Amino acid sequence: MSSVEEVDLAHRIAVMGQRAKRVLEDNDRGSYTVPTAKLYPFQWNWDSAFVALGWAEVDRERAWLEIETLLSAQWPSGMVPHIVFWTREDTYFPGPDTWRAEHGPQPSSGISQPPVLASVLRQLTLEHPHSSDGGVAGDKARVAAVFDALNRWHQWWHTARDPKGLGVIAISHPWESGRDNLPDWDIPAAAIDASGIGPYERRDTELVDASMRPHKHDYDRYLALVKFGADQGWDDAAIAAGNEFWVVDPGITAILLRAERDLLKLGLWLGRDADELASISLRIERMEGGYDRMWNPEAGTYTSIDLRSGDYASTGTSASFLAAYAGVTERTSALVDELSAWSEHCPFLVPSFDPRDSRFEPNRYWRGPVWAMVNYMISTGLAEVGEGEWADRIRLSTREMMLQSGFPESFSPTTGESVGGLHFAWTAAIWLSWLNRM
Provide the minimum distance between the beta carbon of 180 and ligand DGY in the complex, in angstroms, as a whole number.
5
- What is the Cα 431 distance to its own chain's centre? 16
Query: 3-state class of 295 per DSSP?
Result: strand
61 is catalytic: no
Amino acid at 186: D
Q: Please, are residues 39 and 207 in contact by the beta-carbon 8 Å criterion?
A: yes
Q: Which is nearer to ligand DGY, 44 or 75 (CB)?
A: 44
Provide the minimum distance between the beta carbon of 165 and ligand DGY in the complex, in angstroms, as a whole number.
28
Q: Which is nearer to ligand DGY, 94 or 300 (CB)?
A: 94
Other CB atoms within 10 A of residue 278 CB: 11
The number of C-alpha atoms within 13 Å of 28 and in the hemisphere containing its C-beta is 19
Provide the minimum distance between the beta carbon of 289 and ligand DGY in the complex, in angstroms, as a whole number.
31
Which of the following is catalytic: 184, 338, 361, 409?
409
Count how many residues are written for the chain. Answer: 438
Chain contacts with ligand DGY (rule: CB under 6 A)? 82, 175, 180, 204
CA distance 259 to 269: 15
CA distance 241 to 2: 62
Which of the following is catalytic: 57, 139, 180, 338?
180
180 is catalytic: yes
Q: Please, are residues 168 and 162 in contact by the beta-carbon 8 Å criterion?
A: yes
Q: Which residues, in sequence order, are bridge partners of residue 44? A: 83
Strand 305-306 and strand 247-248: pairing? Answer: antiparallel
Which residue's CB atom is positioned nearest to ligand DGY? 175
Provide the minimum distance between the beta carbon of 236 and ligand DGY in the complex, in angstroms, as a whole number.
19
Q: Which is nearer to ligand DGY, 57 or 409 (CB)?
A: 409
Provide the minimum distance between the beta carbon of 420 and ligand DGY in the complex, in angstroms, as a whole number.
9
Q: Which is nearer to ligand DGY, 207 or 238 (CB)?
A: 207
Q: Which is nearer to ligand DGY, 246 or 366 (CB)?
A: 366
Query: 3-state class of 170 per DSSP?
Result: strand
Catalytic residue set: 180, 409
